[in-house]
Amino acid sequence: MIKNPAIRFDNVSRHFGEIKAVHQVDLEIGDGEFFSMLGPSGSGKTTCLRMIAGFDRPSEGKIFLYDQDVSSLPPYERPVNTVFQDYALFPHMTIEDNIAYGLMIKGMPKIKRMKRVDEMLNLVRLPGFGYRKPSQLSGGQRQRVALARALINQPKVLLLDEPLGALDLKLRQQMQVELKNIQREVGITFIFVTHDQEEAITMSDRIAVFSEGKIEQVGSPSDIYERPATEFVAGFVGTSNLVSGEIAKRATGSAKTFSIRPEKIHLGFDGDTPAVGMAALDGTVREVVYLGLYTRYLVEIEGGVDLVVIEQNLKTTSMDVLSAKGQKVKLSWHPDHISHLGS
């Protein structure tokens, strides 16, 4: 239980005919949190965001915003604002008028709102851009205008729908840091929808992983990464090796399915004995992919399963690693680094 949650989903479902876009979701998002909804497309994360904004209404259940039931309020009566995936800037208005739109609707006098617009333009580092039209701006700049247009209304919660999806990698990484800084500065609850697990891990205080209309796991980035609760989370967030049955028993003494991250596995070549207390399995290197910074190995364990192992190329060169193909190896890892999975 979170004290005074900004957003609370109480058994919320959204069905489109036969399709269960969101099914019986319970969720609490804390005040001031940077919260990410992570999942593949069609997992229900965007529908959840749209229900908070008011563009969609729950088929069942209730949504609370600071203990007020907002489930049936229209978007224009909710103290939340959205940054859209396609930015949705009004093409016929200047940047200034775009940002001031919410204040103009509220009836704030022009002089007052232009002062606020200047403050916002400074916050998103676009001073002097007020007189341009959206079409004269680059993707990253439009993104920041969309952010300013939402934040100027001082919403209780800011919703961001894959806002970085259309940017190239470098700009995206830069915006990730910037968004995080702005969130700290304004102190508003941010709810961030993304399908990019790296983005979610970098920016969030907490993450909810969605799959097929349900939440698989809610937790901090390290929880999600190091202790995936389900097979889906283990597979969707980063790469994971799933081990079950006979081989699991050989490694841990129990047949229960567990997951282990590729970088947590130590690759021991002949004569290299694993340290005391490490779990171990014997295998043969089947594939070697040299990737510069690190090397990815595919190791076949006796008894059938293939495990992915990643080793940094700290002391090795491409010549060394490529010659590993076909060699017998001993895989070992610290027992704390595995995660037992639920269904």
Partner 1 sequence: MLNRISTYFYRRPRLVLAIFLAPPILYMLVVYLGSLFSLLINSFYSIDDFTGIIVREFTLRTYAQIFNPANREIFLRTASMAAIVTVVDAMLAFPLAYYIAKFASRRLKTWLLIGVTIPLWSSYLVRVYAWKLILAKEGILSWFIDLFHLTGVLDWLLSFPAIGGSSLSLSPIGMFIVFVYIWLPYMIIPIQTALERVPASLLEASSDLGAKPFQTFRNVILPLAFPGVVAGSIFTFSLTLGDFIVPLTLGNSKFFVGQAVFSYQGTGGNIPLAAAMTMGPVLIMVAYLLIARKLGAFDAL
- Establish if 274 lies at the interface with partner 1 (CB under 8 A): no
Nearer CB in complex with partner 1: 55/131: 55
Distance CA 116, CA 133 (A): 19
Nearer CB in complex with partner 1: 85/230: 85
Helix (H) or strand (E) holding 14: strand 7-16
Cα atoms in the 13 Å half-sphere on the side-chain side of 233 = 30
- Establish if 82 lies at the interface with partner 1 (CB under 8 A): yes
- Establish if 17 lies at the interface with partner 1 (CB under 8 A): no
Tokens standing for residue 320 = 């060394």
Strand 7-16 to 19-29 pairing: antiparallel
Binds partner 1 (CB under 8 A): choice among 27, 73, 88, 171: 88
| Residue 84 C-alpha from the chain's centroid | 16
Site string for partner 1, 152-181 (x = CB under 8 A): -x----------------------------
Binds partner 1 (CB under 8 A): choice among 43, 81, 143, 295: 81
State in angstroms the smallest separation of the CB of 106 from partner 1. 6
State in angstroms the smallest separation of the CB of 45 from partner 1. 17
- In the sheet with 19-29, reading across from the earlier edge strand, the strands are 19-29, 7-16, 60-65, 68-69
Tokens standing for residue 267 = 């690759």
Where residue 277 falls (left for φ over 0; alpha for ψ -120 to 50; beta otherwise) is left
- In the sheet with 266-268, reading across from the earlier edge strand, the strands are 266-268, 328-333, 279-290, 294-301, 306-312
Nearer CB in complex with partner 1: 80/234: 80
Site string for partner 1, 35-74 (x = CB under 8 A): ------------------xxx------------------x
Reported in sequence order, the residue ranges of 50-147 that DSSP labels E, i.e. its strands, are 60-65, 68-69, 80-83
Nearer CB in complex with partner 1: 12/80: 80
Q: How many of the chain's residues bind partner 1 (CB under 8 A)? A: 24
Distance CA 256, CA 243 (A): 8
- Establish if 90 lies at the interface with partner 1 (CB under 8 A): yes
State in angstroms the smallest separation of the CB of 63 from partner 1. 15
Binds partner 1 (CB under 8 A): choice among 15, 32, 60, 84: 84
Binds partner 1 (CB under 8 A): choice among 16, 40, 57, 105: 105
Site string for partner 1, 113-152 (x = CB under 8 A): ------------------------------------xx--
Nearer CB in complex with partner 1: 97/216: 97
State in angstroms the smallest separation of the CB of 53 from partner 1. 6
In three-state form (DSSP H/G/I as H, E/B as E, the rest C), the secondary structure along 177-190 is: HHHHHHHHHHCCEE
Residues 148-182 as b/e (b if ≥16 CB within 10 A, e otherwise) read: bbbbbbebbbbbbbbbbeebeeebbeebbebbeeb
Nearer CB in complex with partner 1: 151/338: 151
Binding site for partner 1 (CB under 8 A): 53-55, 74-76, 80-82, 84-86, 88-92, 101-102, 105-106, 149-150, 153
